[in-house]
Structure 1
Amino acid sequence: MAMLTPAQKPRGLARRIFIGVSHSGRGPAAIGYNGLGRDRIVVQAAKRGQTGRLPGLPATAQGSGCMQVGTPHSVPSPQHGQAAVRDPVAWRLAELPAGTDLAAAEAFCRAVARRHYENFTVATRLVPPRLRQHLANVYAFARWADDLGDESASSAEAGAALAAWREELDACFADRPRHPVLVALAATIREAGLDRQPFADLIDAFEQDQKQTRYATRDELQGYCHRSADPVGRIVLALEGCRDPRLVSMSDSICTGLQLVNFWQDIRRDRLAGRVYLPLDDMTRHGVDEAMLDAPSASPALRRLVADEVEWARRCFAEGAPLAAAAPAVLQPAIEMFIGGGRAVADAIERAGFDTLARRPTVGRWAKTRLAARAWWRSRVAGGGRA
């Protein structure tokens, strides 16, 4: 089941699933060292007629045992008013350390997870310590890919950056990892015998975000979820050697459900970002057009549509719920928490009268605390007192 899952950003996998229970916004602001985000800093300096050096590790990583950046990459000042040209793969030149130190790479992944996902530590406390670094490595891979797409200045630039990230993934599976995230992930892949396909599917989804902003049918939207959300659950199950097709199908249902409730929770935010995830045929059936999404509050027709979509998400949770008892025991508490969290979001949308335009429905702090406490206690029982 997914332990991972995107701010006014195309949805990537990673934040969406990991954040499924306790995400109160759309993600913290990108820090300086996050793929193309940092190149933007350099280019802004170049536009002021300066020569820039790419920043090093994020503030949370400094002093945490993470590797330092190797040879700096300079961006020349533009001449005669010519705009600076951003190199969408500049991070490949700047980030590679002189040596590939696994401990430093793993520390870097933990720093990425802590920096970008405030509840990462809470979530990983529900699994045994031997899995926590693996989860951080998987999260860092997905988060980095997500940022490469989201922090780009254009779809073309995002496409180039994601293509470069795919090359890094290929190098990782060829046992030639170069980027610190892939150095750490390579160890996880070797130890757990992970397949390449789920990671490639995630990159496919981030690339799809750059090209597609509308979905004609539920099947089409579910296809996107299959690439953007479901792979994370598959990876997490595989970390425990679980590849049973029946259990994988349950995991897919849970991950898709988490993605869907976040779509319905964030209709206004997505609309402002130029995205509509409500299936167009469902909109037509309920008499809803896109202009209604710009209103200060939801019309009766839109409320009925959202109620219908929330019911779809709830069916996904119901289909996946048996996984909480059928998955490897060490994963069951976390699975239970994420199912409960997704259902809590659905309930919050219902309490708002299925109007997510007037106010974004969220799960209250105490409700989240109860979910986490219940799952934490179950993890102790399952682990014989292990926290």
Structure 2
Amino acid sequence: MPVDHYENFPVASLLLPRRLRRPIEAIYRFARAADDIADEGDSPDAVRLQGLAEYGDELTRIERGEPPLRPAFTELAAIVAEWRLPVPLLRDLLDAFAQDVVKKRYADYPELLDYCRRSANPVGRLLLHLVGTTSDENLQRSDWICSALQLVNFWQDVAIDWRKDRVYLPQTDLARFAIAEAQIADGCSSAEWAALLDFECERTRRLMLAGAPLVHQLPGRMGWEIRLTVQGGLRILERIRQVRGDVFRQRPVLGAGDWLHIGKRVLFM
């Protein structure tokens, strides 16, 4: 999973089987580096897009079975070949990062989900390919979890994204709750703002729960890893609602006490 370098997605934690850590780390490094091209520094948009296009050229070489020109892609090429990973999923990530460079607003929820389809869902699908559980049902549930995780990041990071001139809250939802962008700029929480964030968090919670049965289809430690990921996302949503959506003064994050709650809930999934 769209996103402070995929911080809500499992990244080769100690829970994962050792054999999966290397491929997951390679996927993460690729996603992080590409995301940095789109987000970090002060390069002009044209330079960012060119950098992402060059990453796309490397993926084309990998897809053709040609050696990459950049040493940083050597490990990824080996992982793709060894695990037979679908390169189009990696290309989807690049497409989403390029969209972030040029697109700053989303008209409605379906448009936002289309972004999640490319910015977050490929990560989950790649994990399923690694464990060989790519049934249509599993892929759909993975998509729901990953999109939900991406949305959780958006609701956490309203203030951070504003500083990048990005508003991921759908424009139709802002209008429905009578929220002007000036309120985001001012970091102003209100009853209307709390209602909007409650609405977004509840919709995201339902999406996450729709995908949650996937954990029972994943083998061994991977299943436990995704249990923690799902419950971590749900806990952040609770944190946002507890502060009535006031993510301006303090970005909701998970502390030690939260992980105790998450650990208990994981046992009963």
Length-normalised TM-score, structure 2: 0.92
- Say which of 158, 161, 169 aligns to 2:59: 169
The answer to whether residue 83 in structure 2 is matched with residue 192 in structure 1 is yes
- Say which of 16, 20, 23 aligns to 2:8: 20
Q: Which residue type is aligned with residue 196 of structure 1? A: V
Q: Which residue of the partner structure matches residue 205 of structure 2?
A: 314
Shift of residue 369, structure 1, vs aligned partner: 5.8
Shift of residue 297, structure 1, vs aligned partner: 3.1
Alpha-carbon displacement from aligned partner over 1:115-170 (angstroms, at most 9, x marks no partner): xxxx94xx521111111111111111111111122235111100111111100111
- Say which of 203, 217, 232 aligns to 1:341: 232
Separation in 2, partners of 1:326, 1:159: 38
Length-normalised TM-score, structure 1: 0.65
- Say which of 33, 39, 46 aligns to 1:156: 46
Separation in 1, partners of 2:95, 2:24: 21
More helix by share: 2
Q: Which residue of the partner structure matches residue 254 of structure 1?
A: 145
Q: Which residue type is aligned with residue 227 of structure 2? A: E
Three-state SS of the structure 2 residue aligned to 1:124 is: coil
Separation in 2, partners of 1:206, 1:296: 26
Structure 1 stretches of 5 or more lacking a match?
A: 8-14, 22-118, 379-387
Aligned ranges 1:230-379 → 2 under 5 Å = 230-368=121-259, 371=262
Three-state SS of the structure 2 residue aligned to 1:355 is: coil
Tell me, yes or no, if the aligned pair for 1:261 and 1:313 is still in contact at 8 Å: yes
Three-state SS of the structure 2 residue aligned to 1:278 is: coil
Separation in 1, partners of 2:256, 2:232: 12
Tell me, yes or no, if the aligned pair for 2:231 and 2:265 is still in contact at 8 Å: no
Tell me, yes or no, if the aligned pair for 2:58 and 2:73 is still in contact at 8 Å: yes
Three-state SS of the structure 1 residue aligned to 2:107 is: coil
Q: Which residue of the partner structure matches residue 22 of structure 2?
A: 133
Shift of residue 373, structure 1, vs aligned partner: 9.2
Tell me, yes or no, if the aligned pair for 2:159 and 2:187 is still in contact at 8 Å: no
Separation in 2, partners of 1:162, 1:298: 36
Q: Which residue type is aligned with residue 252 of structure 1? A: D
Instruction: Tell me the C-alpha RMSD between the 2 structures.
Output: 2.1
Tell me, yes or no, if the aligned pair for 1:295 and 1:357 is still in contact at 8 Å: no
Q: Which residue of the partner structure matches residue 145 of structure 1?
A: 34
Aligned residues: 266
The answer to whether residue 217 in structure 2 is matched with residue 220 in structure 1 is no
Tell me, yes or no, if the aligned pair for 1:340 and 1:371 is still in contact at 8 Å: yes
Three-state SS of the structure 1 residue aligned to 2:128 is: helix
Task: Flag as ranges the 4+ runs of structure 1 deviating above 6 A.
Answer: 372-375
Separation in 1, partners of 2:35, 2:169: 22
Structure 2 stretches of 5 or more lacking a match?
A: none
- Tell me: CA distance 1:374–1:279, structure 2 relative to 1, closer, same or farther (3 Å): closer
- Tell me: CA distance 1:178–1:124, structure 2 relative to 1, closer, same or farther (3 Å): farther
Tell me, yes or no, if the aligned pair for 2:158 and 2:248 is still in contact at 8 Å: yes
Tell me, yes or no, if the aligned pair for 1:137 and 1:181 is still in contact at 8 Å: no
Q: Which residue type is aligned with residue 302 of structure 1? A: W
Tell me, yes or no, if the aligned pair for 1:137 and 1:188 is still in contact at 8 Å: yes
Separation in 2, partners of 1:261, 1:308: 12
The answer to whether residue 93 in structure 2 is matched with residue 202 in structure 1 is yes
Q: Which residue type is aligned with residue 355 of structure 1? A: D
Separation in 1, partners of 2:264, 2:174: 39
Tell me, yes or no, if the aligned pair for 1:214 and 1:280 is still in contact at 8 Å: yes
Alpha-carbon displacement from aligned partner over 1:210-254 (angstroms, at most 9, x marks no partner): 110000000000000010000000001101122111101101111
Q: Which residue type is aligned with residue 8 of structure 2? A: G
Separation in 2, partners of 1:353, 1:140: 35
